[in-house]
Chains A and B, each alone.
Chain A
Amino acid sequence: MHELALCQDIVRTALDAVEVRSSAVVSIALEVGALSSVNMEALEFCMRIVLDQEGLPHTRVEMTPVPARARCGCGAEYEPEDVFGPCPECEGFDREFIGGTDLTIRHVEVADEQS
């Protein structure tokens, strides 16, 4: 259950990025890798808690899952169905994971200033 600490980092990073317009944050878009050790439901739950604490109960959280991606020693790149799946080209397991390992903040949407 480290999602709460991650959400505090996410919200701090997002608010820092938009500086004075922090009260106008409409949405925060995240990409959640399949191998990022992050549970999407827990992430959503914790984002709501942190956003409520920051006085941003209406800010939306958009989460896009990112599948795992692997590069095999034979040169093939593929999306393994699970981490136990072999390379579809050579059926080997000599691969490194090159995608789906991270949790990324894609962008923050901010409402335009109203005069």
Chain B
Amino acid sequence: MSKVDLNRSVRESNDAVAARNRQAFAAHGVFAMNIIGSPGCGKTSILEYTARHFNGRFAAVIGDVKTALDAERIADCGIAAHAIETGGGCHLNAAQVADAIAEMDLDAVDFLFIENVGNLVCPSAFDLGENIKVAVLSIPEGDEKVRKYPALFVRADALFINKVDLAEHCPYDLERVKADARHVRPGIRVFETSATHGTGFDPWFDFLRSVSPA
């Protein structure tokens, strides 16, 4: 019997492609965000509201298990949107994003939203080459999500708590969620928003302006 030592990370091939994506973003002055949250938490609405505020220089890559509905919704706002239909896949990988950005004019883009498949688990484990990971939670999901899905929040740079307009209708301990997130990820930026009503976005816009490569 002979033993072949490998000591190789299973995500090595994905990480190599992610590194190339990251280089492409840097070379073209693109700030890329990997948006991760449950189905229906408001990822697309946050993207729409943000893109309208900045009026152009935005592009989106949108992953869905089936249909290009979200990408069509974004394109209706006048934003360049590329749909990735994962056909059952529960997360985006770096190669899918590489294919998508190969078809884009990155020089015309300052901010790239990569909307991951609606899921709080595996999207967090796959680097896409983004500058930051953004977790999105919403009030109706309940206030124990950080505790239940810590792997995402350990890696997230920013957290949206969306649908705050529904707080009065749902038992939700906002302070607990923020404390939980800061426990697993000290320094995480938290934005409390209602994308439907457009409230709470100013700190987010200030943040984006502060990181804008343009």
Contacts and interface: CB of A to CB of B under 8 A. Distances in A.
B6 to A, nearest CB: 5
A10 B5 CA distance: 14
A104 B122 CA distance: 16
Contacts of A107: 3-7
A86 to B, nearest CB: 8
A13 interface: yes
B11 interface: yes
Contacts of B186: 93-95
Contacts of A52: none
B209 interface: no
B125 interface: yes
A6 B180 contact: no
Interface string A82-115: 1110100000011101000011111111111000
Given A2-B90, A111-B1, A112-B2, 5 more contacts: A2-B89, A6-B10, A13-B6, A106-B6, A109-B2
Nearest to A26: B1
**Secondary structure at chain A's binding surface: helix, strand, loop or mixed?**
mixed
Interface in A1-41: 1-2, 5-6, 9-10, 13-14, 17-18, 26, 35-38
A102 B6 contact: no
Given A14-B6, A93-B182, A37 B121 contact: yes
Nearest to B14: A9
**Secondary structure at chain B's binding surface: helix, strand, loop or mixed?**
mixed
Interface residues of A, number: 34
A83 B184 contact: yes
B197 interface: no
Given A37-B121, A37-B124, A83-B184, A105 B6 contact: yes
A37 B151 contact: yes
B184 A84 contact: yes
Contacts of A95: 186
Contacts of A9: 10, 13
A102 B90 CA distance: 19
Contacts of B183: 83-84, 86, 93
